[in-house]
């Protein structure tokens, strides 16, 4: 019986770093919008009608899950990228609700006798219902992305990974998925597009609450929007990507661009 080879953790981390850098170099057109929306997120001023610390908490989740999804995609961990993206899509409506509502703290938080803070079980549903009412087009888009992730990125159902290789020394486990260029491009598009749509909702609600964003924010927003829009045609024209979208979630590219003006 041969000994199975497990990667050394230092070697594994170094390999991840090399893969991420190489992936970013191979896909500059798709990486640029993600870098842009992450920078735009840092420019956003997270203020509104709700408690500031609560708004800031969900805004921070948007940033954290966006960055984690981006890193995972570059490292060819597509299932992990998908679930980070799903968490981002859940944090966005919560942040927007807290910006919009003075009673957000009561709606969102429960405290124990030991003064520990928890999110109420029905808060996610309340936020998604509110977004569906106020931003029906964006709500449909976010739900379609979540549906695509649920179909494709579940850990038990993701079968496109190069999980093991056999040699004379035995089997070697790999935690990296196959390097599928179309899938990398699609994942980076989904991340940048999701962050931008969520930022649109956040900016609208912050403005309505009397906390307008700077002119530079909207200029940067429009630049990111144009970069993301430029990715759609390439994704649709790629035969493998087009087939995948037809089978699993073509709606994520349908009516991609909002008809409304991006500057309120």
CA distance 223 to 39: 12
Q: How far is CA 124 from the centre of its chain?
A: 17
How far apart, in Å, are the Cα atoms of 215 and each of 55, 163, 212? Answer: 22, 48, 9
Question: How does pLDDT run across 151-185, given as a tens digit for each residue?
Answer: 776 654 444 444 444 445 444 445 566 778 898 99
CA distance 97 to 123: 10
Q: In angstroms, what is the C-alpha Rg of the chain?
A: 20
pLDDT of 189 higher than 50: yes
pLDDT more than 90, % of the chain: 56
pLDDT at 81: 92
Question: Which residue pairs from 109-112 have beta carbons closer than 8 angstroms and sit at least 24 positions apart in sequence?
Answer: 109/54
CA quadruple 164, 165, 171, 176: dihedral, nearest 10: -40
CA distance 78 to 152: 10
Alpha-helical (H) ranges within 75-118 are 78-100, 104-108
Report the Cα–Cα distance between both ends of the chain, in Å, rounded: 68
Compare 256 and 82 and report the one with higher pLDDT.
82
Compare 48 and 6 and report the one with higher pLDDT.
48
Compare 181 and 95 and report the one with higher pLDDT.
95
Rounded to whole angstroms, the maximal C-alpha distance in the chain is: 70
CA distance 248 to 148: 6
Question: DSSP letters of 4-17?
Answer: PB---HHHHHHHHH
pLDDT at 152: 76
Confidence of residue 249 (pLDDT cuts 50, 70, 90): low
Total-model pTM: 0.85
pLDDT at 251: 66
How far apart, in Å, are the Cα atoms of 87 and each of 103, 123, 128? Answer: 23, 14, 13
């Amino acid at each position: 019986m041969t000994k199975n080879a497990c990667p050394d953790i230092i070697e594994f981390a170094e390999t991840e770093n090399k893969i991420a850098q190489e992936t970013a170099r191979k896909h500059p057109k798709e990486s640029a919008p993600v870098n842009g929306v992450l920078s735009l997120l840092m420019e956003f001023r997270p203020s509104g009608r709700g408690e500031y610390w609560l708004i800031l908490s969900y805004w921070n989740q948007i940033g954290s899950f966006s960055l984690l999804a981006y890193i995972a995609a570059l490292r060819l961990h597509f299932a992990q990228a998908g679930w980070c993206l799903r968490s981002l899509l859940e944090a966005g409506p919560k942040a927007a609700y807290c910006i919009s509502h003075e009673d957000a703290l009561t709606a969102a938080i429960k405290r124990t006798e030991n003064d520990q803070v928890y999110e109420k079980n029905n808060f996610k549903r309340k936020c998604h219902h509110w977004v569906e009412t106020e931003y029906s087009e964006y709500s449909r888009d976010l739900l379609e992305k979540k549906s695509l992730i649920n179909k494709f990125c579940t850990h038990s159902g993701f079968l496109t990974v190069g999980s093991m290789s056999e040699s004379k020394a035995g089997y070697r486990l790999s935690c990296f998925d196959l390097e599928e260029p179309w899938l990398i491009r699609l994942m980076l598009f989904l991340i940048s597009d999701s962050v931008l749509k969520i930022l649109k909702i956040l900016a609208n609600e912050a403005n309505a609450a009397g906390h307008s964003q700077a002119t530079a924010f909207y200029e940067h927003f429009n630049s990111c929007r144009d970069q993301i829009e430029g990715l759609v045609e390439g994704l649709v024209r790629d035969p493998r990507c087009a087939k995948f979208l037809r089978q699993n979630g073509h709606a994520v590219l349908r009516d991609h661009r909002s008809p409304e003006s991006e500057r309120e």
